[in-house]
């Protein structure tokens, strides 16, 4: 008589699929993908990268996903209790109890080290050090600061924009103006983007004790003014890729059009002062980044 396993095959496959799903949630795959997308595009924008070497592009993507995934895993381990309080994050693997804190931190350590080592070995030491700095800044400074003061948004905008500089340095092996221009564009973009998210999720964030809006009293005219101000600042900075010869005139007009849309949506938030308008700013910012980055790459000088 043939002895069969006590565990049905479909049960094993279900468990594996569930675990994979948990890890995708742990690294916040969609967010990580967006971050690494910026890094890869800025790598390709570097003047020294004259041809698409898909092997190097894939290596950069993997290394970026490991570093970013590590930072997000630490974030979820640290914010386990606060995530459990909020509807939008309660089902995350650590918050829901599907994954232990120790498992998340073990993964974070292995992924972070592997990603930084890959950057150093396949690209250069400067990009590896920047990657490590970005991870530490996001996971150990920005994450706990969210409960202390809204300056956390300013601090968080640094690791949020560093992937652009990391990609440039990985491709050009220097800290020349082009890398800082791309860093500046993504740095400014994050303020209307994040404040719109914080406006929409204000009740959840308040429940968890996060202090992320500029005004202590919540969504106010001051927050809306700040959103407009940073959207306006994006316009002159958007001219710089053309000014420094990174890209041509076509992408300049595309970037300007996208920046004007962001200003208009931010002005509508100021006038309406409601969640619907904040959501429009949020979705406009989601669309803004891929359009601008792809336009810059397509029109590379």
Residues 193 and 144 in one domain: no
- Predicted confidence at residue 285, as pLDDT, reads 95
Residues 109 and 244 in one domain: no
Residues 189 and 265 in one domain: yes
Distance CA 135, CA 127 (A): 12
The three-class DSSP label of residue 300 is strand
Residues 145 and 274 in one domain: no
Where is the domain boundary, 158, 174, 190?
A: 174
- Predicted confidence at residue 1, as pLDDT, reads 43
Where is the domain boundary, 142, 174, 206?
A: 174
Give the 3-state secondary structure of 87-131: CCCCCCHHHHCCCCHHHHHHHHHHHHHHHHHHHHHHCCHHHHHHH
The dihedral built from the CA positions of residue 117, 123, 129 and 130, taken in this order, carries a sign that is negative
Instruction: Let me know if residue 11 belongs to a domain.
Output: no
Range of the domain at 286: 176-301
CATH of the domain at 83: 1.10.357.140
Instruction: Let me know if residue 275 belongs to a domain.
Output: yes
Residues 132 and 148 in one domain: yes
**Directed axis angle between helix 125-136 and helix 152-172, to 10°?**
170
Instruction: Let me know if residue 149 belongs to a domain.
Output: yes
Distance CA 31, CA 281 (A): 18
Instruction: Let me know if residue 26 belongs to a domain.
Output: yes
Residues 41 and 145 in one domain: yes
Residues 83 and 196 in one domain: no
Q: What dihedral do alpha carbons 31, 204, 198, 270 form, nearest 10°?
A: 140
Residues 164 and 34 in one domain: yes
Tokens of 30: 């969609």
Instruction: Let me know if residue 61 belongs to a domain.
Output: yes
- Predicted confidence at residue 171, as pLDDT, reads 97
Instruction: Let me know if residue 56 belongs to a domain.
Output: yes
Where is the domain boundary, 130, 149, 174?
A: 174
Distance CA 240, CA 227 (A): 21
Residue by residue, DSSP assigns 184-237 as HHHHHHHHHHHHHHHHHTHHHHHHHT---SSSTTSS-HHHHHHHHHHHHHHHHH
Residues 165 and 181 in one domain: no
Residue 124: how many other CB atoms lie within 10 Å: 17
- Predicted confidence at residue 208, as pLDDT, reads 82
Residues 141 and 204 in one domain: no
Structural domain count, the chain: 2
Residues 30 and 156 in one domain: yes
pLDDT for 229-274, tens place per residue? 999 999 999 999 999 999 999 999 999 999 999 999 999 999 999 9
Instruction: Let me know if residue 147 belongs to a domain.
Output: yes
Given a contact cutoff of 8 angstroms between Cβ atoms, the answer to whether 235 and 284 are in contact is no
Low-confidence ranges of the chain (pLDDT < 70): 1-14
Instruction: Let me know if residue 67 belongs to a domain.
Output: yes
Contacts of 212 (CB under 8 A, 6+ apart): 146, 150, 152, 153, 194, 195, 198, 205
Residues 160 and 192 in one domain: no
pLDDT for 32-58, tens place per residue? 999 999 999 999 999 999 989 999 999
- Predicted confidence at residue 206, as pLDDT, reads 86
């Amino acid at each position: 008589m043939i002895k069969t396993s006590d565990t049905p095959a479909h049960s094993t496959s279900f468990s594996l699929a569930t675990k994979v799903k948990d890890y995708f949630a742990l690294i916040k795959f969609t967010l990580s993908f967006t971050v690494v997308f910026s890094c890869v595009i800025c790598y390709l924008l570097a003047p020294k990268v004259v041809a698409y070497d898909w092997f190097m592009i894939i290596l950069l993507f993997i290394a970026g996903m490991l570093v970013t995934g590590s930072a997000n895993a630490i974030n979820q381990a640290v914010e386990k209790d606060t995530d459990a309080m909020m509807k939008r994050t309660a089902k995350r693997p650590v918050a829901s109890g599907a994954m232990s804190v120790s498992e998340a931190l073990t993964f974070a350590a292995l992924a972070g080290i592997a990603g930084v080592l890959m950057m150093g070995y396949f690209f250069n030491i400067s990009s590896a050090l920047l990657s490590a700095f970005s991870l530490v800044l996001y996971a150990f400074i920005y994450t706990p600061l969210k409960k202390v003061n809204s300056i956390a948004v300013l601090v968080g905008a640094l690791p949020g924009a560093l992937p652009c500089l990391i990609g440039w340095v990985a491709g050009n092996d220097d800290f020349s103006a082009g890398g800082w221009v791309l860093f500046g564009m993504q740095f400014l973009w994050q303020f209307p983007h994040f404040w719109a998210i914080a406006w929409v999720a204000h009740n959840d964030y308040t429940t968890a004790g996060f202090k992320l809006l500029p005004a202590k009293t919540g969504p106010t005219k001051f927050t809306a003014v700040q959103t407009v101000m940073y959207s306006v600042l994006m316009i002159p900075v958007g001219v710089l890729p053309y000014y420094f010869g990174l890209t041509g005139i076509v992408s300049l007009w595309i970037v300007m059009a996208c920046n004007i849309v962001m200003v208009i949506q931010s002005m509508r938030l100021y006038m309406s002062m409601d969640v619907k308008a904040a959501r429009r700013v949020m979705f406009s910012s989601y669309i803004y980044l891929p359009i601008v980055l792809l336009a810059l790459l397509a029109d590379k000088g």
